[in-house]
Amino acid sequence: MKLSISKGKYAVGLLLLLIAFSSCSTYNSKTSDIEANLFNGAYDKAISGIEKNSFLNKKRNRLLYLLEKGKVEHMRGNYAESNKLLEEAYIMIEDRIKTKAGQAVAAKFTNPMAEPYKGEDFEKVTLFYYKALNYFAMGMPNEALVEAKRINLKLYELNENYKENKNRYSEDAFSQILQGILYESTGDINNAFIAYRNAAEIYGRNNGEYFGVTTPVQLQKDLLRTAKLMGFTQEYNDYRNKFKLPADDSAAKTSPADYQAVNKGEAVIFWENGIGPAKDQIVITASGAAGIFYGSYMDGDHLEEIIIPIPVGSDIGTINAIAIPRYRERGSYYTGAEIDVNGKPQPFYLAQDFYPIAKQCLKDRMLRETIDLVLRFAAKKAAGAGLAAIGSQLMGDTGGDLVQIGADIAGAATEKADTRNWQTLPATISYTRVPLHEGENKFVIRKQGPEGIDTDTLVIPFKRGLQIVNYYDVGRTQVIPNQTENTASAAQTKGAGGIPLIKKEILEKYDTWHDAGNGVSYKVNFRVNRTLGQELYEKKITLKQTGTATKTITYTVTETPFDNSYTEVKQADYKNATEDGKPSKEYIKITQQLKPGEEASYLVHQTTPDFYVTIFKAE
């Protein structure tokens, strides 16, 4: 009898173990705090979140940790640290990340997230893009060029290793643009022309659209200009007629030495807009018949079919659930942007859209790995058969059937897709080229969003030659990190969404609960509103209390520490905007009832970002 109880516990325990190995949350949900900090421009907090994230710190997720942290360090302007992390990621990929036996078994009985993350093919090459930008920012254009060239070389190498179902994403047009820019920065106009020409050829395939992107007008202009600089008259005329462009007004044929000797400056501005796609999953039911495993699901407006050959002798069970990873497009707040150049608007031209690339890479990989899905079913079915045999010994045939059904249900419950992916990438990259004059160059950027036009001021110090400036709009509200000691002050420089550059110590006060004493806590959030051409900070103050009785709270919110110099006014007379942009010295008293376990909020509009909450009474 004791033996039977032991076997029964074993059967139930193994069944529960199958379910316990499963996790219904996606990688995106496990890193939501990191993403929120990126949206708010709090890059230091995002780095801290990556370092403390228990999921990212698992050994099997080391590649993800390196990619995510490497990208955010780039955004912080820590270029050497970013390259150190991305180089380690590159070495991991080159060493062909190994799956240990225990991880392989866990993956067969549960889901592929038990295995080390190996990266999608487009992720394996995008790290070279950021390494190139890092090197260029550190004054090493030749090293940057090496990294840019690696993108298409690595894509070719990856594709050569696939016997069938090769990647459609086998070359990258944007990397050729980057190469052309880097060649130009060294005065090598001939190779710049060749790189631009290669980019135009890639964009021009598939009816003139490459993964949702048509040939950027900026590329057309650069191709025309470099053809003229090289004295390639035939190519110049051909491209001018093809692209319907006006005549280029740059100098005639020039040598690299002549080009670099010209005392002029230019900047290529890359605009990283939005946040890249995230993986989630769709679980479909499927039937096995005639030697195939078949299921279908809707991906947007398209019907996707799954047809997988069933290996001879495999049994996929009575409950057939298959989890398919898919990319979810998260897009961008802004739909487009332009920059004022000498009083004229000049667009940012789309050059790279990561969603269609990611989607195609995943689809091509899944076609190569579909057999693994069936083998996972077979492993779970084999485990279920073993449990059913124990159930038959303990409870007869009926008990065996019940355990078998339970095991099949457990197999369905543990059937999860691998939802890991590099999530700090942008949704899109656009670019444009601007001339620079000696001294400080201020450019107004206008960005189109659902609530109208947001403006921003970008300051670029003059330097002879060609500069690359990387500009970010993760969401609407963020901070641009200081790139050099020579940039404008916080009062002059603005971040994405038209928000003035906010000091770190002020930004960190937001979205955090502060203890005000008397059992009362407060938190402040903000957004920027524009009224009659003036930017106002709409600050939302939220109160909560830990007591057991309703309290009446009287307080105020000021832009500087409250003292006797402040004058109390009625709410209708409160001047929330000042003509000189300085903090108001008026205040209003706010009175709210605060019930236990509930929150109360109030909105004020002020001119500057800082805030101070002063509690007068809590009774």
The number of residues making up the chain comes to: 619
pLDDT in tens, 49-98: 999 999 999 999 999 999 999 999 999 999 999 999 999 999 998 876 55
d(CA 458, CA 157): 39
Q: Which residues contact 506 (CB under 8 A, 6 or more apart)?
A: 609, 610
**Percent of the residues in the chain that have a pLDDT greater than 90, as a whole number:** 37
More confident residue, 200 or 320: 200
Handedness of CA 394, 400, 402, 408 (dihedral sign): positive
pLDDT reading at 48 higher than 90: yes
Strand blocks (E) in 160-237: 209-210, 213-214
Query: Would you give the DSSP letter of residue 488?
Result: P
pLDDT reading at 105 higher than 80: no
Does the global pTM surpass 0.85? no
Residue 318 has a pLDDT of: 46
- Judged by DSSP in three states, 303 sits in strand
d(CA 343, CA 303): 49
Residue 331 has a pLDDT of: 81
Residue 164 has a pLDDT of: 75
Return the number of other C-beta atoms located less than 10 Å from residue 393's C-beta. 15
Residue 531 has a pLDDT of: 42
pLDDT reading at 485 higher than 70: no
pLDDT reading at 211 higher than 80: yes
> How would DSSP label each residue in 448-464?
EETTEEEEEEEEEE--S
Residue 174 has a pLDDT of: 95
pLDDT reading at 487 higher than 60: no
d(CA 617, CA 428): 50
Mean pLDDT of 227-238: 92
Report how far Cα 529 is from the mean position of its chain's Cα atoms.
26
Q: Give backbone dihedrals phi and psi of 136, rounded to 5 degrees, phi first.
A: -65, -40
- Judged by DSSP in three states, 170 sits in coil
Tokens encoding 86: 């991305």
Residue 209 has a pLDDT of: 83
- Judged by DSSP in three states, 398 sits in helix
More confident residue, 578 or 574: 574
Q: How far apart are the first and last CA of the chain?
A: 67
pLDDT reading at 571 higher than 90: no
pLDDT in tens, 437-451: 988 899 999 998 887
More confident residue, 494 or 144: 144
Question: Contact at 8 Å (CB) between 367 and 165?
Answer: yes
d(CA 183, CA 437): 22
